[in-house]
Amino acid sequence: EAQVTQNPRYLITVTGKKLTVTCSQNMNHEYMSWYRQDPGLGLRQIYYSMNVEVTDKGDVPEGYKVSRKEKRNFPLILESPSPNQTSLYFCASAVESSYEQYFGPGTRLTVT
């Protein structure tokens, strides 16, 4: 089954404690993205990757890091989380030639 998986699905952590949210897709997609969703703001792109070892900033990259060492994986790293990073995070993957985007199930992060 074609899918994008994210782990963990829920996470409560404290300010400053490094964390990683994993994202994996099994469709051999070149493109992968991270979005965050906040009430009243919709979804905003954090980082994206156009292929292995190719990543770039989206609209709200501050406080986040990513890496793309393998085509299937695109982890989101918060080196020093802060309460304003409390949000719902989505990973998505796509191919350039198609309009279809595949979203992961979301990770709800709370930073206290």
Binding site for another protein (CB under 8 A): 31-33, 35, 40-45, 48-50, 56, 58, 88, 90, 92, 94-96, 99-101, 103, 105-106, 108
Beta carbon of residue 50, minimum distance to another protein (angstroms, whole number): 6
Toward another protein, which CB reaches closer, 16 or 105?
A: 105
Toward another protein, which CB reaches closer, 62 or 96?
A: 96
Toward another protein, which CB reaches closer, 85 or 93?
A: 93
- Separation CA 22–CA 12 (nearest Å): 15
Q: Which of 45, 85, 43 is nearest to 63 (CA)?
A: 85
Going from the C-alpha of 88 to that of each of 37, 40, 47, 104, the distances in angstroms are 5, 13, 15, 11
Toward another protein, which CB reaches closer, 81 or 90?
A: 90
Beta carbon of residue 35, minimum distance to another protein (angstroms, whole number): 8
